[in-house]
């Protein structure tokens, strides 16, 4: 064993203080000396750190950061350094399984695929393709999503396709579309190297993007450190380093952000010239936020007026600013509306499109960007607009189909609605890939009943036995990262290639091969009778090249990229084309946004009701390349504490685990570092309920009950926190998955579920 640091004890490693050029530091952890290294990038969060996979005798034996990579300059965090051991785990799925007489039994690929094809054909015949739904991931590769997108949209023609990205960063996409007309982050990580100020809203970056946080820490340790504003109800690792930490009540992001915007407008710290030249909607926004005086914000959110003023002063006077928002915004009340206020801050001050300033409507999952780009989340490939007939025609031409074959008569079905259709019975086959909904969906008691229904045929494609595979009718064993070649794009538009390093175990196959095989067996054809995918797609590289054509002229232009170009050096940012052969650091440098009626990805929604607008509605407001400034007033959360359920529950993550722990739970080091779930509560509440550290606490909501050991401190009174990582596959001896408690409610615009609040009561129970 050789490691450059013990990343469990020392999460972020040594400081390399700087301003300007982030120094290189190569982090490495190997269990044996590899015989060779294979280029890849980490798939355990959206940061997408460049890494090499060390291989010996056909096994992964370690990883090291890639010094040349613009994302991480060689660094890796604890998940990146340890998570790969899951590939070698003894309990991988290695053969397809079919449920027979109630039991999952091993079967051949032929048997499993024949059964799926037979079911699909029967259903299409009897009930149309609308009886088939797909629920995919933010963790497959670009080529796999594009294949899936074509299978669903062009082959079957079902509108029911979405990803777990709906639970994750649907709001990121929605907020970017609302303000700028399309998805795509305006800035670059290199903005952090010089920026004067940083804002993190509902984003515990220190724990959830450890390597990006190393960059922030190194700036804080260098000359001219940036000022840091953190908005989070908990005293997180991130908040510890803040110049100003605002700890609002959950669900009050809109009042807090409105209050900040109001102070900045009042102080005349806005950039009038920029606003006039490049935005629409300023007067309406100004009127809405004008009502949010610091005192009113304090009353509603609990953030002291003086602290709000301090934060607004930093954000109103800095000459450069990098902001990030994540789940504390996206999974909380008024998600899209609050996220848009972060965009507004930058627009009002003209702080985007140049070095040092950028907005990250953050992603969480490693490949969520590609789910969105390829349309596997229900959007259309290449950020095309389902309401724009010309965009549909472009796709139809690419796939050689009649435009009517591509479902676009209504907005694509979002995941929460797909689950509802399954519940109600109109979707009769659900194909789940790369996600574990029976831990990650809200209201698990309800969620568990859906796959158990007799009239729903469930396919689950995963690498490990999970809570979800346990309820499937067919389980397909998937090859994962390290075992297949493909590309993926991090939150900063940086595209990486991940080369195959080892063979998958047993008969496991890549998701790409599975989707292409399905297409072949279903005999999907274009309008000239050629088979849809298989006539041209032999390898993922063929799929990548087809994808490049699909992006031509769109914001996410990949036409300048190739497997060869992505191999050997750093990841490369899109757009990458003839004009920008090495990619482009900043979007919107000229203040021209993607809002033009012919180009925009969406005709938008009403921020309050979520009602979709059509092309005719948009004609009246087409800002022709200007950005939208949109304001909204406060609305209270859908469930609030009362006499019976007097506490707020919020949920989230810990540094050592990824999601439902199918990978990190199989690393001894990570699992030992965070072996079990817990409930975090304030010292005040602990005293009031007579609870001490380690006591077992029963937490009850209107939907369910869990038992969790207590952890006291670092949280606002009245609020408790439970991480969502802990399901039951590793034989938990008690109900502990926090989604037993959460509610089925979602944001009207992004349709992202509200995991960040629920009303609960608690009591201490004797062990």
Ligand X SMILES: Nc1nc2c(c(=O)[nH]1)N[C@H]1C(S)=C(S)[C@@H](COP(=O)(O)OP(=O)(O)OC[C@H]3O[C@@H](n4cnc5c(=O)[nH]c(N)nc54)[C@H](O)[C@@H]3O)O[C@H]1N2
Give the binding site for ligand X (CB under 6 A): 45, 79, 137-140, 164, 167-168, 201-204, 207-209, 231-234, 236, 248, 250-251, 253, 326-328, 331-332, 364-365, 433-437, 439-440, 461-464, 466, 478, 480, 511, 650-653, 655, 657-660, 662, 724, 738-739, 742, 755-756
* Dihedral sign (CA 656, 658, 662, 664): negative
Residue closer to ligand X, measured from CB, 508 or 600: 508
Rounded CA separation 719/466 (Å): 31
Is 630 one of the binding residues for ligand SF4 (CB under 6 A)?
Answer: no
Question: Cβ–Cβ contacts within 10 Å for residue 187, how many?
Answer: 28
When CB distances are held under 5 to 8 angstroms depending on the partner's kind, the choice from ligand X, Mo ion, ligand SF4, none that residue 131 binds is: none
Give the three-state DSSP class for 754.
coil
Residue whose beta carbon is closest to ligand X: 364
Choice between 209 and 594, CB closer to ligand SF4: 209
Task: Quote the least distance from Cβ 491 to ligand SF4, whole Å.
Answer: 10
User: Which of ligand X, ligand SF4, Mo ion, none sits in contact with 234, Cβ below 5 to 8 A by type?
Assistant: ligand X
Taking CB under 6 A as the criterion, the residue among 4, 47, 367, 371 binding ligand SF4 is 47
Contact partner, 164, from Mo ion, ligand SF4, ligand X, none, Cβ < 5-8 Å per class = ligand X
Q: 239, 216 in Cβ contact below 8 A? A: no
**Is the preceding omega at residue 37 within 30 degrees of 0, hence cis?**
no
Q: Which of 107, 151, 168, 216 binds Mo ion (CB under 5 A)?
A: 168
- Tokens 């953030």: give the residue: 303
CB of 616 to ligand X, least distance (A): 35
Least Cβ distance, residue 330 to ligand SF4 (angstroms): 18
- Does the protein bind ligand SF4 through residue 657 (CB under 6 A)? no
SS3 state of residue 444: helix
Spell out, one character per residue from 444 to 483, where the chain touches Mo ion: x when CB under 5 A holds, - when not.
Answer: ----------------------------------------
3-state secondary structure of 283: helix
Site for Mo ion contains 364 (CB under 5 A): yes
Residue in 42, 265, 543, 572 binding ligand SF4, rule: CB under 6 A: 42
What is d(CA 361, CA 327) in angstroms, rounded to the nearest whole number? 10
Secondary structure (DSSP) of 526-592: -TTS-BTTTTT-SSHHHHHHHHHHHHTTSSS--TT--HHHHSSS--EESP-SSS-TT--S-S-TTS-
Q: State the Cα–Cα distance between residues 197 and 351, nearest whole angstrom.
A: 11
Considering the complex, what minimum distance in angstroms separates the CB of residue 77 from ligand SF4?
3
Residue 97, classed as helix, strand or coil, is: strand
Give the nearer residue to ligand X in terms of CB position, either 232 or 601. Answer: 232
Q: Are the C-beta atoms of residues 671 and 664 closer than 8 Å to each other?
A: yes
Q: Which of 64, 135, 636 is nearest to 431 (CA)?
A: 135
Write out the binding residues for ligand SF4, residues 69-98 only, by CB under 6 A: 76-77, 79-80
Nearest residue to ligand SF4 by CB is 80
- Residues in contact with Mo ion, counted by CB under 5 A, come to a total of 2
48 binds, among ligand X, ligand SF4, Mo ion, none (CB under 5 to 8 A by kind): ligand SF4
| Three-state secondary structure readout of 207-261 | HHCHHHHHHHHHHHCCCCCCEEEEECCECCHHHHCCCEEECCCCCCHHHHHHHHH
How far does the chain reach from its first CA to its final CA, in angstroms?
Answer: 39
Q: Quick one: which of 11, 30, 49, 231 contacts ligand SF4 (CB under 6 A)?
A: 49
Subset of 183-212 contacting ligand SF4 (CB under 6 A) = 209-211
Q: Do 615 and 388 contact (CB within 8 A), yes or no?
A: yes
Where do contacts with ligand SF4 occur on this chain (CB under 6 A)? Answer: 42, 44-45, 47-49, 76-77, 79-80, 209-211
The residues that touch Mo ion, with contacts defined as CB under 5 A, are 168, 364
């Amino acid at each position: 064993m050789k490691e450059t640091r013990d990343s469990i004890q020392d999460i972020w490693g040594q400081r390399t203080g700087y301003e300007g050029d982030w120094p290189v530091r190569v982090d490495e952890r190997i269990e044996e000396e590899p015989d060779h290294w294979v280029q890849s990038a980490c798939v355990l969060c959206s940061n997408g750190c460049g890494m090499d996979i060390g291989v010996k005798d056909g096994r992964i034996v370690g990883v090291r950061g890639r010094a040349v990579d613009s994302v991480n300059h060689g660094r890796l965090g604890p998940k990146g350094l340890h998570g790969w051991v899951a590939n070698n785990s003894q309990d991988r799925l290695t053969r397809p399984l079919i449920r027979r007489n109630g039991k999952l039994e091993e079967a051949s690929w032929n048997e499993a695929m024949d059964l799926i094809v037979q079911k699909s054909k029967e259903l299409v015949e009897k009930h149309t393709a609308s009886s088939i739904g797909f629920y995919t991931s933010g963790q497959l590769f670009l080529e796999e999503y594009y294949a899936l997108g074509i299978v669903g949209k062009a082959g079957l023609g079902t509108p029911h396709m979405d990803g777990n990205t709906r639970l994750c960063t649907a709001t990121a996409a929605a907020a970017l579309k609302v303000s700028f007309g399309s998805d795509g982050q305006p800035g670059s990580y290199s903005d952090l190297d010089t920026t004067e100020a940083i804002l993190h809203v509902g984003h515990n970056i220190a724990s959830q993007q450890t390597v990006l946080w190393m960059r922030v820490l190194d700036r804080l340790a260098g000359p001219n450190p940036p000022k840091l504003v953190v908005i989070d109800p908990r005293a997180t690792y991130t908040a510890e380093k803040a110049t100003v930490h605002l700890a609002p009540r959950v669900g009050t992001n809109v009042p807090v952000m409105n209050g900040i915007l109001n102070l900045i407008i009042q102080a005349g710290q806005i950039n009038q010239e920029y606003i006039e030249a490049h935005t629409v909607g300023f007067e309406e926004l100004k009127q809405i936020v004008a009502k949010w005086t610091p005192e009113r914000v304090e009353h509603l959110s609990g953030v002291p007026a003086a602290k709000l003023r301090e934060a607004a002063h930093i954000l109103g006077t800095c000459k450069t600013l990098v902001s990030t928002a994540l789940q504390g915004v996206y999974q909380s009340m008024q998600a899209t509306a609050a996220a848009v206020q972060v965009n507004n801050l930058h627009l009002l001050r003209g702080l985007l499109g140049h070095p040092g300033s950028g907005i990250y409507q953050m992603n969480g999952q490693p490949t969520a960007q590609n789910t969105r780009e390829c349309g596997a989340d229900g959007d259309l490939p290449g950020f095309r607009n389902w309401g724009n007939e010309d965009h549909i025609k472009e796709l139809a031409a690419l796939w050689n189909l009649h435009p009517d074959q591509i479902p676009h008569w209504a907005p694509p079905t979002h995941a929460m609605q797909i689950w509802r259709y399954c519940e109600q019975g109109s979707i009769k086959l659900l194909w789940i890939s790369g996600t574990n909904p029976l831990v990650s969906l809200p209201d698990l008691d309800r969620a568990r009943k859906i796959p158990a229904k007799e009239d729903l045929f469930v396919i689950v494609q995963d690498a490990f036995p999970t809570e979800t595979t346990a309820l499937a009718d067919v389980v397909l064993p998937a090859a994962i990262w390290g075992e297949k070649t493909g590309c993926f794009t991090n939150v900063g538009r940086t595209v990486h290639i991940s080369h195959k390093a080892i063979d998958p175990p047993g008969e496991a196959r890549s998701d790409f091969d599975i989707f292409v095989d399905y297409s072949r067996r279903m005999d999907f054809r274009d309008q000239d009778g050629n088979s849809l995918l298989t006539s041209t797609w032999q390898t993922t590289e063929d799929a990548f090249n087809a994808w490049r054509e699909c992006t031509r002229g769109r914001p996410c232009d990949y036409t300048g990229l190739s497997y060869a170009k992505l191999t050997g050096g750093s990841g490369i940012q899109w757009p990458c084309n003839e004009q920008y052969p090495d990619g482009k650091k900043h979007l919107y440098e000229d203040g021209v946004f993607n809002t033009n009626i012919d180009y925009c990805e969406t005709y938008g929604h009403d921020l309050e009701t979520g009602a979709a607008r059509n092309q005719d509605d948009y004609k009246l407001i087409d800002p022709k390349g200007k950005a939208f400034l949109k304001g909204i007033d406060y609305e209270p959360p859908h469930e609030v504490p009362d006499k019976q359920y007097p506490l707020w529950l919020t949920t989230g993550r810990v540094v050592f685990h990824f999601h439902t722990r199918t990978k990190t739970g199989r690393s001894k080091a990570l699992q030992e570092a965070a072996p079990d779930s817990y409930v975090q509560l304030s010292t005040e509440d602990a005293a009031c309920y007579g609870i001490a550290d380690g006591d077992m606490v029963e937490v009850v909501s209107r939907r369910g009950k869990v038992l969790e050991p207590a952890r006291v401190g670092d949280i606002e009174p009245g609020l408790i926190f439970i991480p969502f990582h802990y399901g039951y596959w590793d034989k938990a001896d008690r109900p502990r998955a926090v989604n037993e408690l959460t509610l089925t409610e979602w944001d009207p615009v992004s349709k992202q579920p509200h995991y960040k609040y629920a009303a609960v009561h608690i009591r201490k129970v004797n062990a």
